[in-house]
Amino acid sequence: MATYAKAGTVYCSGGANVRSCSSTSCSIVSYVVAGNSYPSDCYVIGSSVTIGGSTKATWYRLNLKAGGKGYVSAHYCSGNVGKC
């Protein structure tokens, strides 16, 4: 059964690092936990991430609880937000 995030949030089906920019070379600033939703205002096209033969360049910009923004790969999260 698919889980869908409400507008302005992303649902994360897997745990993942949240980074300071939309690339795996950027510093880790937080993390997401599988099965949880997080506030997000938009997505960006960043560096490509390949997992299990699937490549995605979409990253969701999250509003961090501690303040500021962070980015998580679309391999782990999905949501109903527009492009930044």
pLDDT for the residue 21: 98
Distance, CA of 13 to CA of 37 (rounded, Å): 9
Contacts 24+ apart (CB under 8 A), 31-34: 32/62, 32/72, 32/76, 32/77
* One-letter identity of residue 62: L
Does domain 9-79 match CATH 2.30.30.40? yes
The reported pLDDT for the residue numbered 36 is: 96
pTM summary value? 0.89
pLDDT reported for residue 48: 97
Question: How confident is the model at residue 5, as a pLDDT?
Answer: 52
Domain positions in the chain = 9-79
pLDDT by 10s per residue, the chain, length 84:
344 455 589 999 999 999 999 999 999 999 999 999 999 999 999 999 999 999 999 999 999 988 899 999 999 999 989 999
**CA dist., res. 12 & res. 34, Å (int):** 5
